[in-house]
A and B are shown apart, each in its own frame.
Chain A
């Protein structure tokens, strides 16, 4: 059968509501001073929202292992790009400069 998993309207509306609530939270919490934690919370909420969209709207919840591998690979290589590049910037001067 090529129809694939059919989600219920109720599920979609629930996810929609959750996304709206999370959006409201992320706006609201900007006005609370948590210092550095503000960024962590904002990213955490964004990741949660993204996960909801991916799992339910994009049907990853009911799809093949191969799509999971593809999505995880994308994130992994993004992390590699960030980690190694920032690794350079954060360690500038740590071991002195080349040739000096």
Chain B
């Protein structure tokens, strides 16, 4: 439509030198720096996934030896969890949108924002170095005493990479919390904030409170390897399970760092593409805080069979059922929003629908795992693997892609090909289910995770899974192509291509350097769509 915004001064054409990007303090440019680097780690993690699925096409461990396979699934987990999923939505969409959605010119601490990216890259480099030098084979969970006393792989190097990247996560969370408290535009009260902001606020709380504990857990593993400090060493009377307590104290809330921002995205997508305010706004807002809080009380459900006491197991189990409630509230409220909404099936909305179905399956199977007795049977099987891929990939990545598409015109001033986008979304949905649904079955039947070989009766399901993974991989490649293509050849985007509410849509696409020509004054609630007329018959 209006192509003059592409040539008018905006944050993208404000300087084309290396320095203007690598020394930027603009949250929008930093978001793009993150976008590029997390995409690189997604590709790396995806490569390892491909290697896993290739090995598992046949029952025999014929592609790799067992030790190599251990390294492959470890690096897949490390790359995907710490360097893709944890930063993905907050560091890209969050960084870009948090100031805009609240009507601010930037985050509270722009230099710390840039620092957080450099810290992320540094952590990533240590991890890539570990991969290049031969990898690490402990699993992304680095359980002791294997990681401290037995593994002869690059535990410290990888641990250092993860430790360093934790600071990036902490600084991002810190920045968001201060920004949301202190820099809202006039009239932007807490209950007028978009639910994306509530979700990122809750996520930031988890980042602040949880990350330091995994940092010390990893640091103690490194100290034990380097200086023989025997805190987890059973030969001295140390307890390896203490490591698990410290590790999961963070790593369970970490899954909410991964999914809460995704839920924030889904709230925005559903409101926009049903053209309706989110049903039960306050319930959804408070449910984000509820998930963040109760999420800290459930970590022992990863430790049911670790020699943790049965009593603790029961307590963690009941709390695990309770943490499902706020998530369920969101799903009910999104569904209620869709009811009698004016639904447009644009690509972002297809991803949102995908999220609803897949997160539902993932969340419900989490309840299976939360039941103490059942978990004893499916712990460390592919049932667990399928569960967390449904929530992390079927949930988070679907929401991430949906959000990327939804805000792409805003970020880059270009529209992408809607036909290709819808096609890719469907390919991803099909590929995803074909990859991971068989894993529920094969896991329930007893196939263990983290093994490079398996009994022949599981082969058919594994072949289906590998076929699905191939389709899924192709599905992920397609957006990379048409989105990059759109940067040059896409239709210039108007300020508000979707007709959505929200301050980010009140400014040009791409936005000017300081986001708004004039700081807006907010007078309306978050999703002030005109009420739909209800027709009978």
Contact = CB atoms under 8 A, between A and B. Distances in A.
Given A73-B209, A77-B209, A77-B296, A88 B312 contact: yes
A18 B300 CA distance: 42
A98 B312 contact: no
A85 interface: yes
B296 A80 contact: yes
A88 B245 contact: yes
A43 B391 CA distance: 43
Interface string A71-84: 00110010011001
B264 to A, nearest CB: 21
Interface in A85-99: 85, 87-89, 91-99
B373 to A, nearest CB: 9
A66 interface: yes
Contacts of B310: 91, 94-98
Nearest to A81: B249
Given A77-B209, A85-B245, A92 B296 contact: no
Nearest to B319: A84
Contacts of A85: 242, 245, 249
Interface of B is mostly: helix
A66 B245 CA distance: 30
Given A77-B209, A81-B213, A81-B249, A98 B300 contact: no
Interface in B290-345: 296-297, 299-300, 304-305, 307-316
B305 A98 contact: yes
Query: Which of B309, B313, B376 counts the most chain A CB atoms within 10 A?
Result: B309
A76 to B, nearest CB: 9
Interface of A is mostly: helix
A94 B308 CA distance: 11
A80 B309 CA distance: 17
Interface residues of B, number: 24
B209 A98 contact: no
Contacts of B531: none
Contacts of A73: 209
A99 B300 contact: no
Contact of B309 (A74, A81, A88): A88
Contacts of A84: 245, 297, 299-300, 312, 315-316
Contacts of A87: 311-312, 315
B181 interface: yes
A91 B309 contact: yes
B209 A88 contact: no
A80 B297 contact: yes
Contacts of A94: 309-311
Interface in B147-200: 181
Contacts of A81: 213, 249
A80 B376 CA distance: 25
A62 to B, nearest CB: 19
Interface in B355-392: 372, 376
A73 B312 CA distance: 23
Contacts of B308: 88
Contact of B311 (A77, A95, A99): A95
Contacts of B304: 98
A73 B181 CA distance: 16
Contacts of B249: 81, 85
Contacts of A74: 209
B130 to A, nearest CB: 29
Contacts of B316: 84
A82 to B, nearest CB: 10
Query: Which of A91, A93, A99 counts the most chain B CB atoms within 10 A?
Result: A91
A18 B254 CA distance: 42
Given A80-B296, A84-B300, A98-B304, A91 B311 contact: yes
A95 B296 contact: no
Contacts of B242: 85
Given A84-B245, A91-B309, A97-B310, 6 more contacts: A84-B299, A88-B245, A91-B311, A94-B311, A98-B305, A98-B310
9 smallest beta-carbon distances between A and B, as pairs:
A91-B311, A88-B312, A95-B310, A91-B309, A92-B309, A85-B245, A77-B209, A88-B308, A94-B311
12 contacts: A73-B209, A74-B209, A80-B297, A84-B245, A84-B300, A85-B245, A85-B249, A87-B311, A88-B312, A91-B309, A93-B309, A94-B311
Interface of B: 181, 209, 213, 242, 245, 249, 296-297, 299-300, 304-305, 307-316, 372, 376
